Structure 1
Amino acid sequence: MNKTVLPNISSLEKKIFNDPHLQKKFLEDGFLVLDDTIDEEGLAYLTSFFVQNKDKYGRKTYISTIELRDIEHRAKANELFKYVTKPVADKYLYNYKQFYGGYGVKLTTAEDSILGTHIDTTMVPYEGNRTGITMWIPLIDVDESNGCVHVVRGSHKYHRLPRAQRCSFPYEAFVDVIEKHYMEPVPVRRGQIFIMDQSLIHRSGPNNSEYVRVAAMGMFKPEEEKLVYYNRVSEDTEEDLDVYEVEDDFYLRHTLSTTPKEGVKTHLYKNDRKPYIWFDKKEIQA
């Protein structure tokens, strides 16, 4: 991959991890798989809570807690994730705060359970000093057979532009090229900790196993940053986004893709920049 970086990613030089070796690797790749795992007691808590509430997750082939309308359940899932992962977060992350915790659930429906290539919705402002991160912890071993995460290594450097829910993938015309030449699977053991920059290009494949693939997942922001919510001004355009500054617990109750009833609308963002083409032109023509 072309190692040239865009001028708006100077924020990536700021401290994210306590360990300088992890910091260097994360800045280069946009993700890490830690050697550490969540202890058995914590995994038992996460598994038990999901089993008790599994009926809430049976409506779609892939669903996450943040999509559910049950606000009480979302709050409880968040607190449990915080309780289980706080020792890990304190050990590895430099002054980061969790603002969401829950589950990502992939049913045993083969091809229908694919989560397509995308970049996550922007919740931590890109123009800030540091980046938003996601922590992902599978409750079973995951690999290509049951829908592990696939990533484009280093892609967090190339499209650090605000994104609202339901914005199309900026490289939609080149998905085949990206998936063929740049995507790589990231197998993760049960309880192992996968961390990624929220602007990393990623996907997950089908769950071809006989078991539901459940992962606990949480989102973290730098303590000094305010969260943001980007809302499309019109269904006819993705370029104009209303920008809201929201409280730290906003994503525990808000329904995604809807105009917020809380928060402060600070300005209108107009996206007038074309996606940066970082891959080899020969691959596009092939």
Structure 2
Amino acid sequence: MRQLFDNSTLQNSFLSTGYVQVPILSAREVSYLLTEIGKLCPDDNFNPPSGKKYRTSYHCSFLDKNLDYKRQAFSLIKEVFNPYLKRYMPDFEIVNANFFVKPPHSGAMAIHQNWTALELEDTTVTLWCPLQDVDAHNGGIHVVPGSHKIIPHIESVMCPPYFKDFQKALMEKYLQPIPMRAGEGLIFDDGLIHWTPVNNSEVARIAVQIFCVPSESTPFLYLFNQDDPEYFEKIEVDEEFFLSQSITEYDCPSAPLEKSGLCREQEPLYF
């Protein structure tokens, strides 16, 4: 088993539950990030249109169409978080980093696991850090502890999850909210079942999500095609892929993603 953390207590806790909660940013760093986010200009103004024809009701940097914004966001997040990642997990590297913004009374996200990016016997992790206090009310993260160990499988773009028929039970019995303070970090196995509900507060819920892999590894993306579901296409990905490509270019033919609309005509979303 790979030694993920320098700290043996964190290592053992991570292997058991699939996640650890750790201090990351100071109040000053949180304030700095919020100020810098306000200077960025994604196409959706951090406030995507709502409605059934749109793919999401939350902002994710990777899904935005403004490539300059995506590069600026990645550079900002990496500048701030890379020293902390190296403190906890010195042998891991940042491959992708996003701002996830849930507008007030919006931002529903499906229960999911993150995409498989290495061979099944290896581990990739996500670092999730809210920039304000979060709980179940305002779109805080929920997890199923230990679910990273249930069944080894491939989680892929547009591929139905193995738990699609019992998601209601997951919500009612197994998904546990993790209240977090602004600047705290949750480092979790990408195989962990997790979910963030609607932000029911009056202000935007802003979080940073960072995808990390072992330094010596080459990550890849499995592409699922509903017309031929017994096979996956496997393509190598890197930092540049997430900055320059649109996931809509890799949709399976039978289930294309909706194109995101511009929303410059909407009122700006104040943080």
TM over 0.5: yes
> One-letter code of the match for 1:180?
E
Report the residue type matching 1:225 in the other structure. S
- CA distance in 1 between counterparts of 2:229 and 2:38 reads 38
What is the distance in 1 between the residues matched to 2:74 and 2:90? 20
Cα distance in 2 for residues equivalent to 1:103 and 1:238: 32
Query: Structure 1 residues 186-195 or 41-50, which shifts more?
Result: 41-50
Q: Which residue of 2 aligns with 1:42?
A: 29
1:219 aligns to 2:215 (yes or no): no
After superposition, give the CA deviation of every residue in 1:75-108 in whole Å (9 maximum; x if it has no partner). 1111111111122111100300001112011111
2:16 maps to 1:28: yes
Offset of residue 126 of structure 1 = 2.4
Task: Provide the TM-score with structure 1 as the length reference.
Answer: 0.79
Q: Distance in 2 between matches of 1:85 and 1:50?
A: 15
Matches within 5 A, 1:72-87: 72-87=68-83
Contact 1:133 1:219 in 2 (8 A): yes
Matched, 1:249 2:240: yes
SS at match of 2:118: coil
1:117 alignment partner, SS class: coil
Question: How much does 1:237 deviate?
Answer: 4.1
| Counterpart contact for 1:125–1:162, Cα < 8 Å | no
What are the residue-to-residue correspondences of 1:47-58 with 2, within 5 Å?
47-53=34-40, 56-58=45-47
Q: Distance in 2 between matches of 1:209 and 1:247?
A: 36
Q: Distance in 2 between matches of 1:247 and 1:84?
A: 20
Query: Quick check: 1:151–1:183 contact (8 Å CA) kept in 2?
Result: yes
Aligned length, in residue pairs = 242
**Structure 1 Cα separation of the partners of residues 249 and 117 of structure 2:** 14
SS across alignment from 2:38: helix
Structure 1 segments of 4+ aligned residues over 3 angstroms from their partners: none
Secondary structure at 1:21 match in 2? helix
Query: Does 2:142 correspond to 1:150?
Result: yes
Deviation at 1:22, TM superposition (A): 0.1
Distance 1:257 1:230, change over 3 A: farther
User: 2:116 aligns to what?
Assistant: 122
Alpha carbon RMSD of aligned pairs, Å?
1.8
Do structure 1's residue 19 and structure 2's residue 7 form an aligned pair? yes
Structure-1 separation of matches of 2:119 and 2:233: 13
Q: Which moved more, 1:19-28 or 1:241-250?
A: 241-250
User: How has the CA–CA distance of structure 1 residues 114 and 89 changed in structure 2, closer, same or farther, with 3 Å as cutoff?
Assistant: same
1:20-46: CA deviations, max 9, x gaps? 100000011111111x23023422332
Query: Displacement, 1:257?
Result: 4.4
Matched with 2:48 is: 59
Q: Which amino acid aligns with 1:198?
A: D
Amino acid at match of 1:164: S
- Written as runs of structure 1 = structure 2, the 5 A alignment for 1:162-201 is 162-201=154-193
Matched to 2:110, the amino acid is: G
Q: Which runs of 5+ in 2 are unaligned?
A: 50-56, 252-271
- In the alignment, is the contact (CA less than 8 A) between 2:155 and 2:161 conserved in 1? no
After superposition, the C-alpha distances for 1:115-157 in whole angstroms (9 at most, x for unaligned) are 1211112233324xx3111111111100011011110000011
Report % sequence identity: 27
Q: Which amino acid aligns with 1:30?
A: G
**What are the residue-to-residue correspondences of 1:2-13 with 2, within 5 Å?**
13=1
CA distance in structure 2 between the partners assigned to 1:186 and 1:177 by the alignment? 18
